[in-house]
Structure 1
């Protein structure tokens, strides 16, 4: 049988071309980059060995038999491990710093062992191929290699689809096209063994990956050409896994905003480039990261890098004047020093320590260097405890949903309430939502917690028969992280249908933070949910500077006045005037107004006179558990009926 090796020749040219490009570019040291390099080299070996076998097999009478066994074994081993490394590379792209699932690990190990054992033992078993005289023959178990390859590719498709939310559209299209192309080549090769197309298909696949997925600029900031925040997070996670001590030095430039104001944004950008260049000269390009704004981070991990010397050099070099055109500027750098494992045993704890130190810098503009200390360690430990407590609370009923009645100003009746989440721990007691909610948003737990709250409310609406109690709707808070979920609408609708809750029974509260961070996604979500019957309220109105813009941008039905605005109005004359005109404006815009934090009769009477529709606060009831809330509503109805 004669083999067509022209596809192999083309594949070798493509592999060499991509390999040269890859090695010539500035590649960031990630596990996915390492896997891609192994994949390239392995594929090149497979293509070369495949081309050689295209000559040695038809000329078996002229080639030593041991060489034919050797080169064919090299081809099978390299070609089948190509798919192994491709699957590993894809999983590294998907999971990034997260560990693989146990099932994925076992799957790769089993597939790899099956291939390696069958191929390396073939010279004795003849299970994959053998030579009958000078004729090349396929072994009885060769089909197993195709089956393993088929399973690996199916797993690639499955993982890509299952984790599509964590991937960009370009990555999804690239991975799917590559996987489908490889799957086609495996099937084609089974039925057309003389057409050596597999290596060519792999070469095209790796070219597509290089162009659409393996983009090194994903890790490089385009302005400073330093590695970016994503690169920092990945590197930090990798360093922690080694368990070797290292130091993180975060550099922040004080009052940099004045540079943009006096010299212009172009000059400011030029100075950022110069800062990156000076830091790069001190620590090298592989240890420098640009986080955002005027914040850079340096990693000191090599024994040859002297921490004190580097810190002194950074302070000296960044204090030197920066010349931009005819302008000379001087900056004041501030440094934060955090060490592993002294100030955190995980990347999350270390970033917490940096964040906490950053707040300390904001309070003390005079400090040049802040070293993480025992107070910071205490806060980091508390943050870690909060994460643990919240994770455990999701499984041991540590979270409780309380309900705070909302009183109608005109009738004194209660036809609505707000659902409020509470967290209790045996060691910490009741933990304030002002502490655990921001923490949950940062850790990502807020998505799971938000679904739990929504489901608990729907379950309570049905089990406690809120409609029969005269409750028109329940207010539920949405966090900024929830608002940017693409499938949030579907999740909420599924839960409401499960408990047969009418959409009109739900009012979703949106905070200023959520509105800022979600914009277009939030507007689309609100319009769809409004069409379905759910209403929306803008929470904490008066706490920020841009609330008026949100009223004009989003279709809110209700505006809730922030409690601090209420309290200040009844202690300061000017604040009272501002509150009066605020309420008057909202009434003109036809919003229903709810005043939060009502604690005295004076406040209630004054707010009613100004035109507030409803009150919420301790004057009437604190947040209470569902059964206590039901008793409260029944008692109020009985008193109203008695009146």
Structure 2
């Protein structure tokens, strides 16, 4: 008689204890249940060893004491079998439901232990016990495993694949070794089965390294999601600060790693603060008290003051109102939104209730945009473009609008940034292109061409030209009726892909405009490199022309360059007759703006163009009614 299997199991559990206790842990719900299972298993192994030692000395010890130890050991086995179910449901149920299940399961396990204990137990001198109590114990453990399997199958979609595999392997290990002991009782494998099951869970699911970032040693993004979700579920206060390093310019490679490690060391000095790795070179500190984040903010301010170099390379965003969100994804989405609103006027940008409201408005717009795409509530409005040479409306620009379910119109400034952020800008762009082609097919002789904007995302699509040509062919639209507006992009890769698409479209007969010229960091090389036939002065540049002498020189230079390169020039944002006459004198080729009309729904646009062009030769003094007055904004 020996207890080598129990000793092996105990060694395994002790090693897990050592590893588990020497690593950082968040002690989330599943970790707490695993820690409980670890303690119960340790106690069970010690009881098994003591039981075997007692049987070895049964000549000198009271038989009832040995039977009592055997029943206590059997009770610990039953308790371990129920822990599998509690561990399974820890990551599935919400707090209240989990607490109810935990209490119910523990009560049932206690009743099962009592049920097994009231039956008789016999002791075999070879070191094991047998009899009705043991048989009842086998049945109870089997029932507990069946219940666990039932809950696993019932919640199969909610259990991640790795956790599912770990629990099934744990149960399979138990069943195999316990059945072996059932039919070969002198080979005592029950305790080893439990220890190996705990080892499986540790290696597959609860290994502390799986929640740590390999590069910096702080908690990783996966741990961040789990921690935030649990804190939000229990409605715990959440205060956080994000430290974002600008990984550009001089801060790259080894220098970036050095500064990131330094920032991390500063954050980890503060008690009560958990530090997580975000996306890229972002670190997120979370505390349950406002005071801890206050201390962190002071420490970061002090460090930045000592080393000004760091403050130029890092941005700090603080939020004390994260507990109002529903899940971790919302918190991190809000944090990303807050970063875009950071005005960089101070080292620490602190969010407030108005920013939270703006975020929720943005999310509502995102929902509205997605629903509009699904429900076909995207509409194409068209703004007239006046030809100075022909003295008529010769073209137009297609512009996206969303019509809400109650009939209101949403402007592009509201939803285009959202579409660019959530990735639906490409779908939106193709929908506007198709609607424009359908409009042209029904009004073939109305205009020379219509301008349609291309988003940067569409320009990155290598299949762009093929998709656009297929749409034009579907509606039998002559390619010369289409002019595609492009904007400058800083990405060399995007520019190369765009050039390839432009070459294919030019071969097909489509022309291009360079939009928003004069906005941001306009690059004159774009006029040289890109095969465009029209340059469009940005709204702000057109307005500056009438307020700033320098802007007049710039517009004059652009006009000279455009015409020298055989390009036409469009002035956007023209709203008064004085502005119109000035641009005509400046030899601008086309005029676009509210002086002629706001962007119009398609039916109104057709009426406007037909009405205006039919009356273009009438002298203003002889007109009884201005034909475009009703189309101007109030």
| 1:409-456: CA deviation from partner (whole Å, max 9, x where unpaired) | 587666764233368899xx9886546654x479x6x557x5895697
Q: Distance in 2 between matches of 1:226 and 1:77?
A: 33
Pairing 1:361–2:340 present:
no
Q: Conserved in 2, the CA contact under 8 Å of 1:280 and 1:288?
A: yes
- What is the alpha-carbon distance in structure 1 between the residues aligned to residue 277 and residue 87 of structure 2? 35
Coordinate RMSD, CA, aligned: 7.1
Out of 391, 398, 403, the residue aligned to residue 418 of structure 1 is 398
Q: 2:59 corresponds to which residue?
A: none
Counterpart position of 1:469: 443
1:403 aligns with 2:399: no
For residues 321-470 of structure 1, the aligned pairs below 5 Å read 340=320, 358-359=342-343, 361=345, 381=357, 384=360, 387=363, 401=379, 403-405=381-383, 407=385, 417-421=397-401, 433-434=412-413, 437-438=416-417, 440=418, 446=422, 450=425, 453=428, 457=432, 466-470=440-444
Alpha-carbon distance, 1:201 to partner: 6.7
Q: Which runs of 5+ in 1 are unaligned?
A: 89-99, 158-175, 323-328, 363-367
Partner of 1:623: 599
Give deviations 1:223-273, integer Å, cap 9, x for gaps.
Answer: xx77899999998888788878887788999x9999x69xx9978976776
The question of 1:34 aligning with 2:44 is answered no
Q: Could you say which residue in structure 1 is the equivalent of 2:558?
A: 579
Asked if 2 retains the 8 angstrom alpha-carbon contact of 1:404 and 1:624, the reply is: yes
**Whole-angstrom CA distance in 1 between matches of 2:484 and 2:168:** 47
Q: Describe the superposition over 1:480-513 as per-residue Cα deviations: whole angstroms up to 9, x where unpaired.
A: 7x999x9x999x99xx99xx88999999877667
Alignment of 1:273-312 (within 5 A): 283-284=270-271, 286=273, 302=289
CA distance in structure 2 between the partners assigned to 1:26 and 1:311 by the alignment: 23
Per-residue displacement from partner, 1:124-183 (whole Å, max 9, x unpaired)?
A: 789xx99746535536956443232334445325xxxxxxxxxxxxxxxxxx45644655
Determine the C-alpha separation between the residues in 2 that align with 1:210 and 1:631. Answer: 70
The yes-or-no answer on 1:25 pairing with 2:50 is no
**Structure 1 residues 304 and 585: CA distance shift in structure 2, 3 A:** same
Deviation sequence 1:557-600 (CA, Å, 0-9, x none): 99765333455568634313552476479869xxx987654555
Instruction: Indicate which of 156, 159, 162 corresponds to 1:156.
Output: 159
Distance 1:330 1:441, change over 3 A: closer
Q: What is the TM-score when the length of structure 2 is the normalising length?
A: 0.56
The aligned length equals 546
d(CA) in 2 for partners of 1:37, 1:422 = 48
Alignment partner of 2:75 out of 49, 70, 73:
70
C-alpha contact (below 8 Å) 1:279/1:288 kept by paired residues = yes
Residues 1:535 and 1:211: Cα distance change in structure 2 (over 3 Å)? farther
Q: Any idea what SS the aligned residue of 1:361 has?
A: coil
Question: Does 2:172 correspond to 1:194?
Answer: no
User: Does the C-alpha gap of structure 1 residues 76 and 235 become closer, same or farther in structure 2, counting only changes over 3 Å?
Assistant: closer
Say if 1:551 and 1:618 are closer, same or farther in 2 by CA, change over 3 A.
same
Q: CA deviation at 1:77?
A: 0.7
TM-score of the two chains, using structure 1 as the length reference? 0.55
CA distance in 1, matches of 2:262, 2:427: 49
Deviation at 1:217, TM superposition (A): 1.5
User: Where does residue 166 of structure 1 map in the other structure?
Assistant: none
Deviations 1:285-338 (A, max 9, x none): 82678999999988786587696x98777666654479xxxxxx8989999997
Label 1:537 to 1:634 Cα distance change in 2 as closer, same or farther (>3 A): same
Deviations 1:525-573, CA, capped at 9 Å, x for gaps: x979x89x99998753443437678899999999765333455568634
The answer (yes or no) to whether the contact 1:349–1:384 under 8 Å persists in 2 is: no
Contact 1:418 1:475 in 2 (8 A): yes
> Against the structure 1 CA distance between its residues 240 and 575, is the aligned structure 2 distance closer, same or farther, given a 3 Å change threshold?
farther
Is it true that 1:562 corresponds to 2:519 in the alignment? no
Structure number with greater Rg is 2
Is the alpha carbon distance of 1:330 and 1:539 closer, same or farther for their aligned partners in structure 2, counting shifts above 3 Å?
A: closer
1:146 is aligned to: 149
The residue that corresponds to 1:135 in the other structure is 135
Q: Could you tell me whether the CA contact under 8 Å between 2:212 and 2:220 is conserved in 1? A: no
Within-5 A mapping of 1:197-236: 200=196, 203-204=199-200, 206-209=202-205, 214-217=210-213, 222=216
Q: Flag structure 2 segments of 5+ consecutive residues without an equivalent.
A: 56-62, 121-130, 181-189, 326-330, 617-634
Q: In structure 1, how many angstroms separate the alpha carbons of the residues matched to 2:483 and 2:201?
A: 49
